[in-house]
Amino acid sequence: MESIKSQSKRAHQWISDIPKENWANAYFEGCRYNVLTTNAAECFNAVLKGARELPIAALVEHTRWKVCDFFQFRQKTCSKWMTRLTPKAESWLAEARKEAGGYTPWQCSWTEFQVTSRYHVDQVDIGKQTCTCRMFQTMGIQCGHAIAAMGLNHQDPFSYCQDWYLADAYQKTYDGVVYPTLDRSQWSDPSHTLPLVLPPKVRRQPGRPKKVRVERGLERGVHHKCGT
């Protein structure tokens, strides 16, 4: 913000008038676990791009096969892990430990600490799992300030990581099995129990139907240059 202010006070004031939770990841309300996805449905839609023109039965079977393929790949991957956390979470924690070496922690109460660095002073609450840098509460994993504070009481950083980062939790997520559908000759006939539902009468719009959603301006990477 100070860099923007040095370039343009008008731009700095314009950004300051917008709530920080609307544009700054650090002020996002709630835990985001370092995952930012604008459209999860579009991600999976891209995976099924080659099967969208198939008949409904073939489309369902292709979707099931694709999900099974994802599950099998992840089951084999996580079975080789020898760590308590997922590899990505382990790397985050390792980086935080390196940062903690440059901090000086001071204990204020049983759970509250003050952590000083060369340029900042941060407050850590181990009991509430919060830090003024906001990484602890938004990511669900310790920042360098929190690890430095835990080092005073020889606490285990792994015990304060959210369960979502555990390798065991990752493995349980993909333990399920998506069973194949039966052959068409084995389907039960529900016509005697369910009413006949016909598709709605919809007039087809002129032109070719769109297969890719229209992207928003920010997704297209539009850059605006602030005037001074």
For residue 34, is it left (φ>0), alpha (ψ between -120 and 50) or beta? Answer: left
- Does the pLDDT value for residue 201 go beyond 60? yes
Residues 74 and 113 in one domain: no
3-state helix, strand, coil in the chain (%, to 5): 45, 10, 45
Residues 146 and 74 in one domain: no
User: Residue 175 falls within a domain, yes or no?
Assistant: no
For 45, the domain range is: 39-80
Placement of tokens 């990581």 in the chain: 161
- Does the pLDDT value for residue 218 go beyond 80? no
> For 174, how many CA atoms within 13 A lie in the half-sphere containing its CB?
17
Residues 103 and 69 in one domain: no
- Does the pLDDT value for residue 228 go beyond 60? no
Q: Give the rounded distance of the alpha carbon of 146 from its chain centre.
A: 22
Determine how β-strand 121-125 pairs with β-strand 130-131.
Answer: antiparallel
User: Residue 47 falls within a domain, yes or no?
Assistant: yes
Of 124, 152, 170, the last residue of a domain is 170
Residues 119 and 160 in one domain: yes
Return d(Cα 115, Cα 96) in angstroms, integer. Answer: 14
Return d(Cα 144, Cα 95) in angstroms, integer. Answer: 8
Of 153, 170, 187, the last residue of a domain is 170
Return d(Cα 7, Cα 20) in angstroms, integer. Answer: 20
Residues 71 and 111 in one domain: no
Nearest to 10 by CA among 228, 192, 194, 196: 228
Residues 94 and 164 in one domain: yes
What confidence tens digit (pLDDT) does each residue in 9-34 have? 888 889 889 888 777 766 777 676 66
Single-letter amino acid, residue 145: H
- Average pLDDT for residues 47-64, to the nearest whole number? 83
Of 28, 47, 80, the last residue of a domain is 80
Residues 48 and 70 in one domain: yes
- Average pLDDT for residues 196-221, to the nearest whole number? 70
pTM: 0.64
Would you say 63 and 52 are in contact if contact means Cβ atoms under 8 Å apart?
no
Return d(Cα 159, Cα 166) in angstroms, integer. Answer: 10
Q: How many domains does the chain have?
A: 2
Residues 94 and 157 in one domain: yes
Residues 165 and 94 in one domain: yes
Which two three-digit tokens encode residue 196? 């006949």
Beta bridge pairs of residue 125 = 112, 130
User: Residue 102 falls within a domain, yes or no?
Assistant: yes
Residues 142 and 127 in one domain: yes
pLDDT at 56: 83
Residues 105 and 70 in one domain: no
User: Residue 14 falls within a domain, yes or no?
Assistant: no
User: Residue 185 falls within a domain, yes or no?
Assistant: no
User: Residue 112 falls within a domain, yes or no?
Assistant: yes
| Polymer length in residues for the chain | 228
Placement of tokens 């008038």 in the chain: 17
Return d(Cα 120, Cα 134) in angstroms, integer. Answer: 14
Placement of tokens 């489309």 in the chain: 59
Going by pLDDT thresholds of 50, 70 and 90, the confidence category of residue 106 is: very high
User: Residue 225 falls within a domain, yes or no?
Assistant: no
Residues 69 and 126 in one domain: no
User: Residue 94 falls within a domain, yes or no?
Assistant: yes
Report the chain's C-alpha Rg in angstroms.
26
Neighbouring CB atoms inside 10 A of 216's CB total 10
